[in-house]
Amino acid sequence: MLKGKTALVTGSTSGIGLGIAKALAQQGANIVLNGFGDAKGPQSEIESLGVASAYHGADMSKPAEIEDMMKFAASKFGRVDVLVNNAGIQHVAKVEDFPVEKWDAVIAINLTSAFHTTRLAIPAMREANWGRVINIASAHGLVASAQKSAYVAAKHGIVGLTKAVALETATTGLTCNAICPGWVLTPLVQKQIDDRAAREGISVAQAQIDLLGEKQPSLQFTTVDQLGGLAVFLCSAAADQVRGVAWQVDGGWTAQ
Ligand code: NAD
């Protein structure tokens, strides 16, 4: 379905981003990976699916590096057809104790980076009259939790950005949508489970059960494969008129 097209996925050296990159590669898209840590492993996983890949290590909190990454992607593959804004971090603290530099980092990486990639990707998508912008928001883009003020603000913000971009591009072949996962067992969430186990003096297994029980009625984690499947659907012709949605994949979290 995506043969000959190029997908750039931010924060795709692990977790959800890597899962979505693989799902898009399985549909034939060439992939531009981004994120910290080892990129060789993820790149060879992508290339084993029979597509080309490239990696750019831009720090999503730095606009100049984001610009450089977008130029790099265009120089490698011509243009970005599918942009997945996925890079994200978390910090947990009460608002009055929230470190100012952590607030700035969460907003920069989880929200402002998507503004930069989107503004830079859209002109070529308009020219081709086809494109997909997929923003990885969260259940926290729709509802809040205590101690996550920066994350909740950034995720609500990216849902708003999604709607505004969808309206600006509504008459074109370019769509913009958000995916709102509930708990997914990635390094980002494993850290919260480990912190909870240490804080409450319980086992990691118990902390995992408690974490799910608090928010996610299905009591099961959302998987990266499920999110990859939804991203593929959003790239399909069946989704041509899906515009500006914030699509929950949260085991019932936000239905409560
Ligand atoms: P993860 O920690 O496994 O992956 C995050 C990725 O972002 C990594 O590749 C990391 O290197 C990259 N990254 C972090 N800071 C970066 C920076 N400054 N510049 C470039 N890359 C950077 O996390 P994940 O759980 O896969 O999260 C991915 C996205 O999904 C995030 O936006 C997160 O908020 C969202 N999300 C996750 C969950 C969950 O339960 N795991 C739920 C809802 C939404």
Burial 199-229 (b: 16+ CB within 10 A, else e): eeeeeeeebbeebbeebbeeeebbebebbbe
Q: What is the pLDDT of residue 171?
A: 98
CATH architecture for residues 6-182+223-255? 3-Layer(aba) Sandwich (3.40)
Average pLDDT estimate for 6-29: 98
Q: What is the pLDDT of residue 218?
A: 98
Of 106, 130, 105, 234, which Cα lies nearest the Cα of 178? 234
| Residue 151 is a catalytic residue | yes
Q: What is the pLDDT of residue 48?
A: 98
Neighbours of 230 (CB within 10 A): 19
Testing ligand 1's pocket by substitution, the residue of 61, 152, 186 carrying the most ligand atoms inside 8 A of its CB is: 186
From atom 36 of ligand 1, which residue's Cα is the shortest distance away? Answer: 138
pTM for this entry: 0.98
Residue range 106-149, pLDDT digits in tens: 999 999 999 999 999 999 999 999 999 999 999 999 999 999 99
Rounded to the nearest whole angstrom, what is the distance from the C-alpha of residue 212 to the centroid of ligand 1? Answer: 19
Average pLDDT estimate for 185-213: 95
Indicate if the pLDDT at residue 16 is higher than 90: yes
Average pLDDT estimate for 70-81: 97
Helices (H) and strands (E) in the chain, counts: 9, 7
Q: What is the pLDDT of residue 231?
A: 99
Residues above pLDDT 90, as percent of the chain: 99
Confidence grade of residue 39 (pLDDT, cut at 50, 70, 90): very high
- Mean of the per-residue pLDDT values for the chain? 97
Average pLDDT estimate for 170-195: 96
Average pLDDT estimate for 43-68: 98
Indicate if the pLDDT at residue 167 is higher than 90: yes
From atom 31 of ligand 1, which residue's Cα is the shortest distance away? Answer: 88
- Residue found by looking up tokens 């977790």 in the block: 15
Question: Do residues 217 and 130 make contact, with C-beta atoms less than 8 angstroms apart?
Answer: no
Residues above pLDDT 70, as percent of the chain: 100
Question: Which residue(s) pair with 9 in the sheet?
Answer: 33, 84
Average pLDDT estimate for 39-59: 98
Which residues' Cβ are closer than 6 Å to ligand 1?
A: 11-17, 34-37, 59-61, 86-89, 109-110, 136, 138, 181, 183-184, 186-189
Question: Which residue(s) pair with 135 in the sheet?
Answer: 85, 178
Indicate if the pLDDT at residue 188 is higher than 90: no
From atom 33 of ligand 1, which residue's Cα is the shortest distance away? Answer: 88
